Amino acid sequence: MDPSETGILAATETLRKIARVVSDRDSSAPNLSFATAVLAGLEDDEQFNAGYGSALQADGQPRLSAALMDGDSLSFSGVISVSDVQNPSRLALKLQKSSSRVLTEPGATRLARKLGFPPANLITEERFQRWLEQREKNSPDGFDTVGVVLSRDGLVAGTSTGGRGFEVPGRVSDSATVAGNYASTFAAISLTGIGEQIVDFGVAVRIETRVRDGLSLEEACRRTFNEAVALGHEYGWIAADRKGNWCIAHTTDHMTFLIKTLSGQELASSSSR
């Protein structure tokens, strides 16, 4: 995502538009379907590092990951390293009731073709130019992820990403793991940031466990945030609990987000550290 003020404002406005469209169109949809519709809207917009316009790995190819988790059934599903599926979140949704609920290649793409997902060219001109620049510098492109947590007669978490950018081909992010995406009947959490740090610290399940063990969502997030700062970690998260409480936290310079109540009220849209 463009880190400039103009880019942040554009991303925030896009979040508002997607939330309104999905709320109007899918208000009665099951929680997982509703969350997937939000993720797919973000994956379709090239300003986000998910779906169309995702970051490219060192060999110039996009490899996307996405995951969904239903808190009531404790069912986690995800896809890893798909290269030509514009909405990996929709593919992850199809895996919710499968006996194999997390797929990488070649199984993920084979399933996509079997289900009728059309092959998609996900490389935009802007992203390709950024890849050329990173090739000269031999350095990562940054890290961005899109996510959604839903507290509406049950908790759901969904996360989708194009990865870090210019990483080793085949590198797996945290987004399709329970470290970066987790939901139970106690809390739902979705993360963005440096995936290796998120996995090392098991951030999503760490927050959920603290809520399960009796801390309030705010207390659980505050303790986890303080630990992240002490370790010098760079990531952020959105979280909600079964009472409808929410939490936004990030150790990065900024994180764009939107909180929308069932009544349609927008409570926040952006945050800088």
Catalytic residue, from 145, 159, 161, 251: name it. 145
Residue 125 Cα distances to 54, 86, 189, angstroms: 11, 16, 33
DSSP string, 80-148: EEESS-S-HHHHHHHTTTSSS-EE-TTHHHHHHHHTTPPP-----HHHHHHHHHHHHHT-------EEE
Strand-pair category, 235-241 with 187-193 = antiparallel
CB half-sphere exposure, 215, CA atoms < 13 A: 15
* Distance separating alpha carbons of residues 72 and 69, to the nearest angstrom: 9
Task: Write the DSSP string, 162-187.
Answer: --SSSPPTT---STTSTTTEEE-SSE
Tokens standing for 48?
Answer: 């986000």
In angstroms, rounded to a whole number, what is the distance separating the alpha carbons of residues 191 and 46? 20
177 is a catalytic site residue: no
**Cα-trace Rg, the chain:** 17
> So which residues are the catalytic ones?
145
